Amino acid sequence: MKKRLVFGLCAAVLGSPAVVSAADVSQLAQQVHPRVVEWRRHIHQHPELGYQEVKTAAYVAEQLRNMPGMEVQTGIFFRSEVVSTLDGKQVAVMHACGHDTHVAMLLGAAQILSGMRDQLNGTVVFIFQPAEEGGGGAFKMIEGGVLDNPKVEAIFGQHISAGYPSGSLEYRAGGTMASADTFSVLVKGEGGHGSSPWAARDPIIATADMIVSLQSAIARDVNMSLGGSSMTVGLMSGGARRNVIPAEASFSGTVRTLNAENRDTLQKSFERIVQGTAHSHGVEADIQYTRLYPVTYNNPTLTSRAVGALKKAADGKVKGIPAKMGSEDFGAYGEKIPAFFWFLNASPYVDKAGAPNHSPHFVIDESAMLVGVRAMVETSLSYFDNK
């Protein structure tokens, strides 16, 4: 029975060659690197928003069809982000998180592996996914059966940043990136004049009490031994004049955790605290609480097997890191099958990190993509060697 492996979320789904050395993979990655740079620049200069990646999908499908032994299923798109330029190409949106490099590196891995097709002892699938940035494209891919035909055993992914030093890799076993949930609360009171607050039911005071009280959920309800959590209110609104008590106020924010149990706990605590505080102030609270992305959890066994492959790909420049409180929809795949997600540093500077992802100044060192391609290929080989 052939083994099947998915390399997903702007990474690859691949089977493993029989016997290929690290030197072979390095040489093949060097050969394909100019094309990887070309692919990345084309995609960067033609960005599209989430679920609108029509031209990008067509471009990638065309590249894949030119690779030997490749079967391409259309209707699979992938993610992009917002605002700026490259080489004078003025457009209204931008790849400011590096997903253009993810697609290019995946194409590079596909180019290498398609050339090894006669040595492969498993099915090779490459996933190009839409709308990671807030769109939850991974869920759509799963609903569409991307893990079912062929049946997938494990999934790998990587994410680039302008971290230092360029060409190094970072990883973590267990909870690696936080879950992401959002909330919005509309507090309904009774308006009145500031000179007679006793005649009103002040939603602003109630809202302020709710926001402060919610921090007790982090301090007292969360099991910190299971990983970090945060609850942040980023928006608060109420009132139009300084001497008038409004009838309504509102606030919204995000909740992040590194553990599924704490995620459930915080949602229950949130609803209990908000409704309890509303009752004590004689106001009403309408809650909208939305669960977005699950924890990105790196399977410990899969992680331990893959670390050696990462070291080959990065010539030993690999280190373990603390968990990140940012979020990724890659966690949706990990809820279905064992998963491993790592990070590729690509600072354009020789002595410091570059601008963070999502900055309008985000720029990467394109030579680091060579390591990214090697990492995808080496990790797939390691997976099958250890089965």
| 150-189 per-position pLDDT tens digit | 788 888 899 988 889 999 999 999 999 999 999 999 999 9
The answer on 261 and 375 residing in a single domain is: no
Phi, psi of 164 (to 5 degrees): -120, 140
Distance from the first to the final alpha carbon of the chain: 12
Q: Is 358 annotated as a binding residue?
A: yes
Any binding-site annotation on 159? yes
Question: Is 4 inside any structural domain?
Answer: no
Domain boundary among 265, 293, 321: 293
Residues 160 and 48 in one domain: yes
Q: What is the pLDDT of residues 362-374, one digit of tens each?
A: 777 888 989 999 9
**pLDDT score for 101:** 83
Higher pLDDT, 386 or 334: 334
Residue 81's pLDDT band, with cuts at 50, 70 and 90, is very low
Residue range of the domain that includes 268: 179-293
Instruction: Please indicate, yes or no, whether residues 215 and 308 belong to a single structural domain of this protein.
Output: no
Residue 9 lies in a domain: no
2 belongs to a structural domain: no
Instruction: Tell me: is residue 133 an annotated ligand-binding position.
Output: yes
Are both 168 and 183 inside the same structural domain?
no
Centroid of chain to Cα 331: 8
267 plus 342 within the same structural domain? no
Asked if 89 and 158 sit in the same domain, the reply is: yes
Q: Give the chain's domain count.
A: 2
CATH label of the domain that carries residue 271: 3.30.70.360
For residues 131 and 99, the answer to whether their CB atoms sit within 8 Å is: no
Residue 90 belongs to a domain: yes
Residue 12 maps to a domain: no
Same domain, 137 and 202: no
203 within 8 A of 269, measured Cβ to Cβ: no
How far are the Cα atoms of 31, 109, 121 from residue 112, in angstroms, in the given order?
9, 5, 15
Q: Report helix angle 22-45 to 369-385, nearest 10.
A: 130
The domain spanning residue 302 has which CATH number?
A: 3.40.630.10
For residue 254, is pLDDT > 90? Answer: yes
374 neighbors 29 (Cβ within 8 angstroms): yes
The region that residue 379 occupies, defined by phi over 0 for left and psi between -120 and 50 for alpha, beta otherwise, is alpha
Tokens of 305: 């097997």
Residues 341, 281, single domain; the answer is no
Lookup result for tokens 């400011």:
96
d(CA 313, CA 142): 29
pLDDT tens, 289-348? Answer: 999 999 999 999 999 999 999 999 999 999 999 999 999 888 999 999 999 999 999 888
CA–CA separation, 339 and 102 (whole Å): 17
274, 293, 312 - which closes a domain:
293
Q: Is residue 14 part of a domain?
A: no
pTM of the shown model: 0.80
Q: What is the mean pLDDT of residues 144-149?
A: 81
Q: Rounded to whole angstroms, what are the CA distances from 233 to 19, 185, 214, 253, 328?
A: 53, 11, 10, 4, 20
In angstroms, rounded to a whole number, what is the distance separating the alpha carbons of residues 144 and 225? Answer: 36
In a domain, 226, yes or no: yes
Find out whether 193 is annotated in a ligand binding site.
no
Q: How far apart are CA 265 and CA 144, in angstroms?
A: 31
Q: Say if residue 10 carries a ligand binding annotation.
A: no
Best mean pLDDT range from 101-105, 113-117, 180-184: 180-184
260 shares a domain with 189: yes
Residues 266 and 283 in one domain: yes
Work out whether strand 229-238 and strand 174-177 pair parallel, antiparallel, or are unpaired: unpaired
> Both 306 and 276 in a single domain?
no
**Does the pLDDT value for residue 69 go beyond 90?**
no
| pLDDT-based confidence at residue 212 (cuts at 50, 70, 90) | very high
Q: Is 360 helix (H, G, I), strand (E, B) or coil?
A: coil
- Of 263, 293, 323, which residue is a domain's last? 293
Please indicate, yes or no, if residue 27 is contained in any of the structural domains.
Answer: yes
For residue 250, what pLDDT is reported? 98
Do 309 and 288 lie in one domain? The reply is no
Integer Cα distance of 337 and 164 in angstroms: 31
* pLDDT band per the 50, 70, 90 thresholds, residue 46: low
